[in-house]
Structure 1
C-alpha cells in the first residue's frame, strides 16, 4: 500500500506542482520576452526621437551660422567697390561693420585686419592671448594658404568661441583686408530648451577630428561616463581625422547618424556646409528610467502572481492528495475485508461444517492435482475409502446427535493416527476418503491396518463400540480419478460384504 501511495504522490506532484510550475515558467519567459522586445522598441523610438531633435536643433544652429556667413558675404561685396587706402572708404566699411555688430545679437565682437596684420577696426574690449593667437592664425590662413573663408575655434575664460573670417577683395581681385566675427558658442544652445528629450545629457559641437568646440549641459553630466569624441570618432560614419576647419578643404557627409555605446546614444548631424557637426548624447538608463521602473513593477507583479498561484495550487493539490490518500486507505481496507471474507467463504465452501474436514469437492480437486503432478514426476498414489460399520444403528438407537458425536470422535482418532501421512476428508454420510500421495499399495495397507486398531482401541463409549471398513486402490497409469475412486469404492463394499472391520485392496 505504501508503494501505491508513493505512486499517487508522484502523480499528484506532477499534476499539482510540476505542470503548473512549467506553465508558469513558460508564462514568465513569454512575458519577459515580450517586455524585452517592447524595451527594444522603446530604444528604437528613443533613437528616432533623438535624431528628430538633433535635426531640429542643427537646422537652427546652421541657420545662425548661415546668417553670419551672409553678413561676411555682404561686407565682401561692399568692400569690392571701396578703396581701403582711402580714408573715406575705410570709414564707410567700418560704419557698415559696426551696423552689423548691432544687428546680430550672437556676435561677441568683430574685427577688420589688413593683410600685414595691422588692425583697421576691432570691437573687442579685452584682448586675450588666445584671441591674438587666433587673429594671427586667421591672417596666415587667408594670406599664405589663399583661403577666402575659414572657421576657427578656441577656448577662453572657460568658454568656447568660434571665429568666422572672410577675405575682402577689391575690384581687381587683390586681398585688401580680412574681416572676422567672434561668436560665443553657448548662445547656440539657447534653442535647446524646445528640443529637450528624456535622458539628454549634453549637446556637443565638434569638428571632423572629434575635437569638441562647444558643449551644453556639461554640468549635469558630471560623474557620468561621457563619450570621448577624439577616441571614438572612428565609430561615427563619414568622419575623418583632420582638424582643419575649412569649407574648401573638408566637408562632412550630410545625414543623421546614431551610434550606440555601452550606456549612451550619440546622434550626430552635419551643420549645413560648415565643417562642423552637432551631436546629442543621451544616457539610456536615464531616458529609459520610467519604462524600466514600470518594467520592474510589471515583473514583480508577474512573479508575485506566479508565487501566489503556485502556493494556492500546491495547497489545493495537497488537500486533494490527502483526500485521495484517505480514499485509497479506505479502499485498501475494504479490499482487505473483501479478500478476507472471500477467503473465509472459500474456506467454508471446501470444509465440512460438522467435522471440519475438507469436503468432497476439495478432495476431488486435490486428487486431480496429484494425478496431474504424476505426469510430470511419476510417484505412487493411493486412496482409501472408510465406512463406519453399522453407523445407521447408532443413529436409530441413540439419535442423530449422538451419531454426529460418534462421527466426530472417529474423525479425531483417524486424524491422530494418520498425522501427516495423508489427507482425510468427508466423502459423504458416514464415509471418509483418505488421499495418500507417494504411498504404494503395501504402505497404504499397513496404514489402514493401524487405523483399524486405533478405532477399535478408542471407542466412543462403553455402550458404543465402533469399527470401520476400508477399501484401498492404487493409481494406475492413464486412468481417471473417477476410475480410481470407483475401484476403492468397490474394495470397500467387498470389505463390508466380507464381515466388516477389515481392509480390502482393489
Structure 2
C-alpha cells in the first residue's frame, strides 16, 4: 500500500514539472507567424542600403517577429515618402528633405539618420579650371531636382551666386556627359560616380558642400505618425533590428558585399560595391557616433537652410519630428517568475540564485548605461566641433563666424564698442595650385592658418570664408588699429615662405562697423576694399582713408 502511495506522489510531481516546463516554453517563445512589413528604398539596390539587407539576411527582422519586404526605388519608382504616407509601405528611406514634408504638415517622423554627412558633391574634371563653388558661376551645371540638389544649390547661394542666372541642365544620371564636355559640373554622389570615372581612367575633382559649411544628414529611416501611435512596439523593434543590421554590415564589409552582389545588385561589380562600402563608412562614422544618431540642433540648421532656399516655411516641431526610442521591455523575466512560482517550494534555492544573478546583471546594465550616456555627451561635443570648424585648416567655418559676428555686433551696439573686420585672401593662389599641385595648395592654406593664429589675440575670431579667402573679426578695435594689424599680418605672410619653393603675398580689405550696419553690409564693405587692393597691385592693405602699400608683385 505504501509503495502505491509513493508511486502516486511521484507521478503527480512529474506531471507538475512537465506542465510547468511546457507553460514556461509557451510563455517565453516568440510567435511562429512573422508579420509582413514593407520597406521602400529611395534608389536602386546598392551598398547604400546594406544595413537593411543584412538585418533581413542575418535574421534580425525575423527574430523581432517581422517578415520584411525590401522594395527597390529608382527613377521610375514612386517617391519613398509618398509610398509610406499612402500606406503602400510601412517604412521608407528618405533624404533630409523629409523635414520639408514635416513643415508642410505631413505626418512624417525621422526614426534614424544613417549617414551623418551627405555624399552629394559637384564632380568636375581634373583638367578644368573649377576649384571652388565661385568657379561655377558661368559654367554648365547638371543638377538633380529639389530637394535632392538642395545642398549644392545652397552652397552656390551662400557664395553669392544667383540661382536664377545659372546654366542648368536636368540630370541624365550619365557621367559620360561630363567626359564628353556636354556639361562642366555633374551633380553626383562621392560614393558612386567616382568609381566609374576611375575605371575609365578619367581624373576628377570633388567640390563638397560640407567644406563650405553646408552639411546635411542623408538616408533617413522614416515612418508615419499613425503607425507609431498604433504599433509603437513594432516600430521600435523594426528600428532596433535595422540599426543592428547596419552595425553588422559595417563590421563585415566583405560578407555584406558578397550578399548584396548575389541577392540584390548582381549588375554591380564586387569592386564597385567595395568602393561604395568604404565611402559610405566614412559618412556613417560608426567609430565616432552611434549609428542612427540625430542632433536636434542640426535638424534646426537643415530646416533653416530649406527655408533659405524658399522650399519650406511652416513650423518645425522637433518633439513630433524626431523619434524617441523606447527601452525594450523584456517580458521573458516576468514569464519565468510566474512559471517558477508554481514550483516555489521545490525550486526556492534555484530561485534565490537566479535572483542574485539578475541583481548583478542589473548593476552591470546600470553601469553600462552611465558609460553610454558619457560617450553620447562626448560624441555630441565632437559633432559640434565638426559642424563649426573647417576640415582642412581647423579654423571656424562660415556658419560659426556668422554666429559669433552677430553676437559681437549686438554687443558693440549695446556698449558702443569699436569692432573691425579684415577680409583677405592669398594673391595668385591659382598659380600655386597650377605650378605645385593641389596638395601643396592645401598645405599652403593649413600652414597659413597656423601661422596667423600665433599672432592673434584671444578675442579675435579667424575664419576660412571659402577657398583661399579668410575673415578676421576684431572686437574692441577701431579702423586704425585694425589697419595696423592687417599690415603686420601682410608683412608676416610676405616674409614667411611656407616651403623653400613656395612663397606668396596677401591682400587685405579693412572695415570698421558703423551703427545700424548688419553683418552682410560690414563684410561687403571689407570685400570692396579687398577688391580695390587687388586692383591697385595686390600685397597691400586698403581701409578707406587708411592705405598701407607694400611692394607689388
> What band does the TM-score fall into relative to the shorter chain?
0.3 to 0.5
Could you say which structure has the larger radius of gyration? 1
TM-score, scaled relative to structure 1: 0.36
Point out which structure has higher relative CO (alpha carbons under 8 A, 6+ apart): 2
